[in-house]
């Protein structure tokens, strides 16, 4: 029996593993894994000043050793105003450290990684990076960055491909095949091999109930 990585609780349990977090972030942000000395899970409830303000609740919120904050989200179904919600979350992440009298220097780089089980756009590109740039491509600021990974498009040989195959796994045979391919190629999704480890499955069964999605 395989637990789908798209299942919300499974995804959150996976990213509790610091090794998995490091390797996934390394591939998405295209930085050597050695540059990520450590990651730290943060409270996923974003701060609000007044009770009437909208609360932001993130899926997985990670802080890197350089204070960069990263929200990792997996969205299975298309929802209305998804793009506006991403901007809201990024804005809250960026400004939650700011309070009256504090310097803007406390603002840290904020990155959103959105894994989508639906097509957001009709083009072929399945890993897009959105930054604040002018019409000539000059970067205005790196404080806000959005990565969108679409799971249902045809793969074209990018570094993120083996992670997309992992999230799309439905059977134990597919997991075994992916593990064999990535081991032979020196890939890094073998770091998620504990997904079907008996102890992990037993722990998740006790906590959530065993569900085969």
DSSP string, the chain: ----TTSHHHHHHHTTSHHHHHHHHHHHHT--GGG---EEE--SEE--SSTTSPPEE-SEEEEETT--EEEEEEE-S--TTHHHHHHHHHHHHHHTT--TT--GGG---EEEEEEESS-SSSSS--EEEEEEE-TT--EEEEEEEEEEEETTSPP-S-TTHHHHHHHT--SHHHHHHHHHHHHHHT-SGGGGGGGG-HHHHHHHHHHH-----
Residue 201 has what pLDDT?
46
Neighbours of 56 (CB within 10 A): 19
Residue with the bigger pLDDT between 152 and 95: it is: 152
Average pLDDT, the chain: 78
Q: What percent of the chain has pLDDT over 70?
A: 75
Residue 50 has what pLDDT?
41
CB 95 within 8 Å of CB 49: no
Neighbours of 132 (CB within 10 A): 12
Q: Which of 1-5, 108-112, 153-157, 180-184 shows the lowest per-residue confidence on average (mean pLDDT)?
A: 180-184
Beta bridge partners of residue 70, listed in sequence order: 62, 111
**Tens digits of per-residue pLDDT, 72-81?**
988 888 888 9
Q: Cα(first)–Cα(last) distance of the chain, in Å? A: 10
Rounded CA separation 199/190 (Å): 17
For the chain, the domains span 8-208
pLDDT at 18 over 90: no
All residues at 6 or more sequence positions from 204 whose CB lies less than 8 Å from its CB, including other chains? 3, 9, 10, 13, 210
CB 166 within 8 Å of CB 5: yes
- Counting Cα atoms < 13 Å in the Cβ hemisphere of 48 gives 12
Residue 191 has what pLDDT?
52
Q: Kindly list the distances between the CA atom of residue 207 and the CA atoms of 6, 45, 47, 170, 203, in Å, as whole numbers in the listed order.
A: 17, 22, 28, 21, 6
CB 42 within 8 Å of CB 62: yes
């Amino acid at each position: 029996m395989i637990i789908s990585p798209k299942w919300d609780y499974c995804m959150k349990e996976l990213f509790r593993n610091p090794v998995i977090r490091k390797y996934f972030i390394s591939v998405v942000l295209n930085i050597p894994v050695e540059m990520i000395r450590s990651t730290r899970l943060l409270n996923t409830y974003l701060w609000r000043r007044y009770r009437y303000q909208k609360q932001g609740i993130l899926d997985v919120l990670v802080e890197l050793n350089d204070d960069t904050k990263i929200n990792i989200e997996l969205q299975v179904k298309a929802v209305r105003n998804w793009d506006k919600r991403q901007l809201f979350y990024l804005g809250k992440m960026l400004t939650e450290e700011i309070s009256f009298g504090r310097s803007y220097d406390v603002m840290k780089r904020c990155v959103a990684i959105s894994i989508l089980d639906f097509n957001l756009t009709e083009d072929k590109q399945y890993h897009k990076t959105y930054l604040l740039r002018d019409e000539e491509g000059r970067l205005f600021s790196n404080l806000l960055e959005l990565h969108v990974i679409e799971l249902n498009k045809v793969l074209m040989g990018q570094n993120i491909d083996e992670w997309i195959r992992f999230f799309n796994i439905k059977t134990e045979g597919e997991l075994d095949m992916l593990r064999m391919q990535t081991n032979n190629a020196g890939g890094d999704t073998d770091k998620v091999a504990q997904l079907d480890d008996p102890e992990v499955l037993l722990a998740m069964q006790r906590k959530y109930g065993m569900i085969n999605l």
